């Protein structure tokens, strides 16, 4: 069966520090992968999606970047965090037609 792993579960980082969140998928090959952010009390905002290794599409220009170095690995990064980067970050795989499988999320607090 397919599973998706996301870590860490929680993270507290100072403003200006770098960020690296990792997501890996098991049990499937060549998955479409997504990074979403969920701000407190708000819906989900699509940040990046990837249809293959090295292929990244950005939905919203911002202080974040994404990379896909391996087929089942998706990384979200920042060189310098801002207070506004705080939120709940969710990795997902799947399709817009059949639905998503989400990871358990990373709660990022920038202080």
Partner 1 sequence: AQSVTQLGSHVSVSEGALVLLRCNYSSSVPPYLFWYVQYPNQGLQLLLKYTSAATLVKGINGFEAEFKKSETSFHLTKPSAHMSDAAEYFCAVSEANTGGFKTIFGAGTRLFVKA
43 interacts with partner 1 by CB under 8 A: yes
Closest by CA position to 18, among listed 110, 90, 92: 110
Of these, 7, 22, 44, 62, which contacts partner 1 (CB under 8 A)? Answer: 44
65 contributes a contact to partner 1 by CB under 8 A? no
21 near partner 1 (CB under 8 A): no
- Supply the minimum distance, in Å, between the C-beta of residue 99 and partner 1: 5
Write the DSSP string, 22-80: EEEEES-SS--EEEEEE-TTS-EEEEEEEEETTEEEESS-SS-EEEEEETTEEEEEESS
Per CB under 8 A, residues contacting partner 1 are 6, 9, 42-44, 46, 90, 92, 95-105, 107
């Amino acid at each position: 069966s397919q599973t998706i792993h996301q870590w860490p579960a929680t993270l507290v980082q100072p403003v200006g520090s770098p960020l690296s969140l990792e997501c890996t998928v098991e049990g499937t090959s060549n998955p479409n992968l997504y990074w979403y952010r969920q701000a407190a009390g708000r819906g989900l905002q699509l940040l990046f999606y990837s249809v293959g290794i090295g292929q990244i599409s950005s939905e919203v220009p911002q202080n974040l970047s994404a990379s896909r170095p391996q087929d089942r690995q998706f990384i979200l990064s920042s060189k310098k965090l801002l207070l506004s980067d705080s939120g709940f970050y969710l990795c997902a795989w799947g399709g817009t037609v059949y639905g998503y499988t989400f990871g358990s999320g990373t709660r990022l607090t920038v202080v």
